[in-house]
Amino acid sequence: MALFGQTFITGILIGGIYAIIAIGMTLIMGVMKIINLAHGALMMVGMYVCVVLFASLGLHPYLSMIPAMIILFGIGYALQKYSIDRVFRIETILPESQVLLTLALGLGITEIIRLIFTSDYQCTYTPFSAKCFYAGGMSISQPYLVGFIIAMAFVAGLHIFLSRTDLGHSVMATAQDRDAATYMGVNAGRITNFTFGLGTALAAAGGAILLPIYYVFPDVWHPYLAKAFIITILGGMGSTVGALSGGLLLGVAESFGATYWSPGYRDVVGLIIFLLVLLFLPGGLKKVIGR
């Protein structure tokens, strides 16, 4: 029973962190209808901002998360406005090319970071990184728990923002029908830039939450980009609740797969879910949840 409980808790906690990384991608995908393959690389940049602030000012990643989010919001906004949008506006360019552009941006960002920081692993290990609660033969890692709570707070905040504020309504309207939103007076271009910046800032938050329990190096983002993509498909594009549910489901499924099948196949579990959702639930959990 302790093994089952430990597996479930571990899955939920890591799933919450997956969700915060994926929610930015699902937001961007919902509004722009393109896959942002630079999302993982931008998360990695956020992690490096935190590492620099940790090394220079001794700021814990939970604190440096705020400046990292602000910086990454600016980077995301600028990338969208001066790069992706320019390609987006040319009707003769296929959407596939826009996706390739985001991939090229991701690779370019990675190599720039490699030039600056080299490929060395960087970490922000503190005694807190190994703190745990123990109960009923199970352990709950404090950095995982705090990361999960922060992630949930961001998801809740984003949900309230999107459902209760005018700006949030504009984002949702642009996501639902860009042309109709424009006719209703929404500046769809500016909203798209804002959404890309917001999604990127959330990716930075996810990276900052990961730092106390993981490491950063320029290629760290590859598996997280894949997970964010799976969660976006699983949860449904543009849905915060869907992304949260998808993140938790993926985390728990991977955890149970690693415990009861094989740790070598934990990613296979995610891919199987991905395929099943595509085949039997093309709209993702959003269709089931209705949000």
Partner 1 sequence: MKGIKLALILGLAVVLVAAFALPGCGAPEVVTPAPGEEEAPPAPAGPIKIGINFSLTGPKAKFGSMDRNSIEIAYAKFGVEEIGGRPIRFVIEDNRGDPATAKSAEEKLATLDKVDLTIGGYSSACGVTQAAAANDLGVPHILVNSSKDAITEAGYEWAFSGPRVPATHYADAMWSFVDEVLIPGGVSKVALYYEMTDWGTSSAEGLRAGFEERGIELVYDTPYDSLATDFKPMLSTVKALNPDMIMAVSYLMDAGLLARQAAELRVNVMAYMGQAGGYTMPEFLELAGENVNYTFTTANWSPLAAWKGEIAGVKWTNKEYYDAYVESYKAEPDYHGAQGYAAWQIALDALLRIDAAGNDINRENIKEALEETKLMTAMGLIEHHNWTDEMGHSYTNQGLPLTYVMQWQNEVQEVVWPLAGKSADYVFPVPKYEER
Q: Which residue of 172, 266, 283, 289 would you call a contact of partner 1, by CB under 8 A?
A: 266
Q: Which residue of 70, 100, 146, 172 would you call a contact of partner 1, by CB under 8 A?
A: 100
Residues 187-226 that bind partner 1 (CB under 8 A): 210, 213-215, 217, 219, 222-223
CB of 70 or CB of 93, closer to partner 1: 93
Q: Which residues pair with 140 in a beta bridge?
A: 133
- Fill in the per-residue mask, 3 to 42: x = in contact with partner 1 (CB under 8 A), - = not in contact: x--xx--xx--x----------------------------
CB of 81 or CB of 114, closer to partner 1: 114
Is residue 130 near partner 1 by the rule CB under 8 A?
yes
Task: Tell me the closest approach of the beta carbon of residue 219 to partner 1, in angstroms.
Answer: 6
- Fill in the per-residue mask, 48 to 87: x = in contact with partner 1 (CB under 8 A), - = not in contact: ----------------------------------------
Is residue 145 near partner 1 by the rule CB under 8 A?
no
Is residue 182 near partner 1 by the rule CB under 8 A?
no
3-state helix/strand/coil string of the chain: CHHHHHHHHHHHHHHHHHHHHHHHHHHHHHHHCCCCCCHHHHHHHHHHHHHHHHHHHCCCHHHHHHHHHHHHHHHHHHHHHHHHHHHHCCCCCCHHHHHHHHHHHHHHHHHHHHHHHCCCCECCCCHHHHCEEEECCEEEEHHHHHHHHHHHHHHHHHHHHHHHCHHHHHHHHHHHCHHHHHHCCCCHHHHHHHHHHHHHHHHHHHHHHHHHHCCECCCCCHHHHHHHHHHHHHHCCCCHHHHHHHHHHHHHHHHHHHHHCCHHHHHHHHHHHHHHHHHHCCCCHHHHHCC
Task: Tell me the closest approach of the beta carbon of residue 145 to partner 1, in angstroms.
Answer: 12
Residues lying near partner 1 in the complex (CB under 8 A): 2-3, 6-7, 10-11, 14, 92-94, 96-97, 100-101, 103-104, 107, 114, 118-121, 123, 125, 127, 129-130, 132, 134, 139, 141, 210, 213-215, 217, 219, 222-223, 254-259, 262-264, 266-267
